[in-house]
Amino acid sequence: PFRTDPAQLDNPVVRLLRAMEESPLPIVARVNGHATGGGFGLVCAADFAIAAETAKLGAPEARIGVFPLMILPAMLRLIPRRKLLELCMTGDLMLAAEALACGIVGEVAPPAELDARVDALVARLSAASPIAVRFGRRALAAVADLPYGAALEYAQRLLPQLARTEDAQEGFRAFNERRTPAWTGR
């Protein structure tokens, strides 16, 4: 089951996680049922996650003699170390409420309301300036692993670029005129 092609430099999971990281759009995970192993890694790599109350999440790989190495970087960025060790070493699954308490998902909904909650989040994200969302997503990825001083330096250099965009100028005008902005995405 774990065969590799020596000519293939990146595992397909690595390629997918890199594509998620490089996506200009926010990624919303909708969790209904089980999100385990690689599926759990995708939830951790997503920008937002909403789970049904009945969902179960975790990394059960240790129970079959392996460790969730491919999804470890995504999990490390989201899950507190002790909880991460517990999940990875026991293979235990957690219910959605525990995932919410750990910050793995941002919201838990009754199964019948899951789609509506996801749609509501997507609508809120869509109401924001597309360029501000793209800049912000890129900035968050860039500063996440920087020392504090370097992160501040990066932020202060990026802000003037963002402030010069058409969307930022429209946002300022709309705020002053007390109206809803009309975003161009530029």
pTM over 0.85: yes
- Give the residue with greater pLDDT, 2 vs 44: 44
Judged on CB neighbours under 10 Å (0-12, 13-18, 19+), 17 is buried
pLDDT at res. 145: 86
**Within the chain, what is the greatest distance between any pair of CA atoms?**
62
pLDDT tens string 134-154: 999 999 989 988 999 999 999
Question: Please, what is the angle between helix 148-163 and helix 130-143, to 10°?
Answer: 160
Of 13 and 55, the one with more pLDDT: 55
User: What would the pLDDT profile of 101-130 be if each residue is shown by its tens digit?
Assistant: 999 999 999 999 999 999 999 999 999 999
Q: Which residues pair with 13 in a beta bridge?
A: none
**What percent of the chain has pLDDT above 90?**
88
Q: Can you say how many angstroms the Cα of residue 83 is from the centroid of all Cα atoms in its chain?
A: 18
